[in-house]
Amino acid sequence: MEAEEIDHLLFEDESMIRSYQALRYNWFPRGKQRQVPTYGKHEGAKLFGAIHYVYKIKLQVSQFMKRIIKQPMETIDRLLIRF
Which residue ranges make up each domain of the chain?
10-18+44-83
Q: Confidence class of residue 58 from pLDDT cuts 50, 70 and 90?
A: very low
Strand partners, 51: 11, 58
What value does the mean pLDDT take over residues 31-39?
A: 74
What value does the mean pLDDT take over residues 19-43?
A: 70
Amino acid at 61: V
Helix (H) or strand (E) holding 77: helix 72-79
pTM of the model: 0.33
Q: Confidence class of residue 17 from pLDDT cuts 50, 70 and 90?
A: confident
Q: Confidence class of residue 61 from pLDDT cuts 50, 70 and 90?
A: very low
Cα–Cα distances (Å) from 75 to 7, 31, 51, 66, in that order, read 28, 45, 21, 10
